[in-house]
Structure 1
């Protein structure tokens, strides 16, 4: 986990300092010191590079969080549903005339995380289920620990199957009988940098876990035959059209997309 890697990094720094100190006090000879320093330095830089490459935005967010009083958090899962090189986007239930990938807020299972990580209800999410990971982080310095808990995948949803059923089956976009078997494969996690929200007068921290829907042959055939044109409930956009912010050149038409839509690409 991230927190453990940071502790190991700090330990390696301490070992390097201790080795140099031992050399100065004639505890180790020069050759032995060089061997130890080489081992510790190699491990240090390997771990440092891994942290910077894979967790740069997380590290940046942790550093930024120290300077803020409160932070809004929203941790969600998004589902890529691909139909003949286009992606299925559904109508956002909160923001009028806006389309986004199926998915939504991840739910937690144990209320102890609220006190352990100093989370409170956020006025911007007052209509959300209380189990949603859409909260206000009252003590921003706990963001590192909150990240560590989240990536441990304990006491929270680890699959967006609930959202798949709510947004695609209960809305009758897909038939429940044909799509009762739901196969979802984890693809990646996106952690955007913390940004200031003028609307809520707070900084916001997001995490998006992206999953692919893996249809059976019969499910793929059904989608190909029945979901061909966009309507009031959903739209089909290519990668290029999503990259252009929802503009469809062939129709000279623009769709309003949720800001999170780009993360499925």
Structure 2
């Protein structure tokens, strides 16, 4: 319908409008730096989005059957799994953005390195908010109430254009990133509040039950993984400067982060029996796939 088309058009505008403003108000040199950070952020965003394609038909069927209980369970559990993937990805990328850019480009000496790192960090923050409400957006479509998504998208694009122009003039390159991030946060927050009010969900209860725990687990995991930086300084005596150094540091810190994060998930009780069965089934699928390749 028209609501979904407007939302899609708004997303297209948001993807490119900052680059146009940067080229016009500052220099085309900044466009490349922006695009590098944005590209990596979009790739990272695509991993949690793999959970979404099955949600629309499932929610449409449940809504048609007037099965409100299972529709609510789909919303809660889907949002839970989305947050379990989104938070650790975002935390790790934001904290290790410079290493990721070095791994991607091969060194830290190219023009625009600092700007690319900043773009990756700030855009990732905005993507977190937009990802966390993605489950609700698709369920809203399945329920036949896409107007909340449309309004949210319009808010994002209008704010993005207005804030980016003002902040680029005031702050330069960081202004474009801040405008995009703030507009994404505000628009996503509007959708989250409006949609949950429409279906009778408590916003604060959802945040407490679904989002707070993985957020705190990521804080703990990140803090412990960042201790590895101290040992890397002793070993290398300098920040990572090439692809190999960046790869080694990302691998070690990633394994520490993942290990602590999984330990928190399974020891805290946040992951229930049903979740563990799904996780075990996923591991079994991986094993079968590896055996077939052999």
TM-score class normalised by the smaller sequence:
under 0.3
The structure with the greater share of residues assigned to strand is 1
TM-score, length-normalised on structure 1?
0.26
| Higher relative helix content | 2
Larger Rg: 1
TM-score normalised to the size of structure 2?
Answer: 0.24
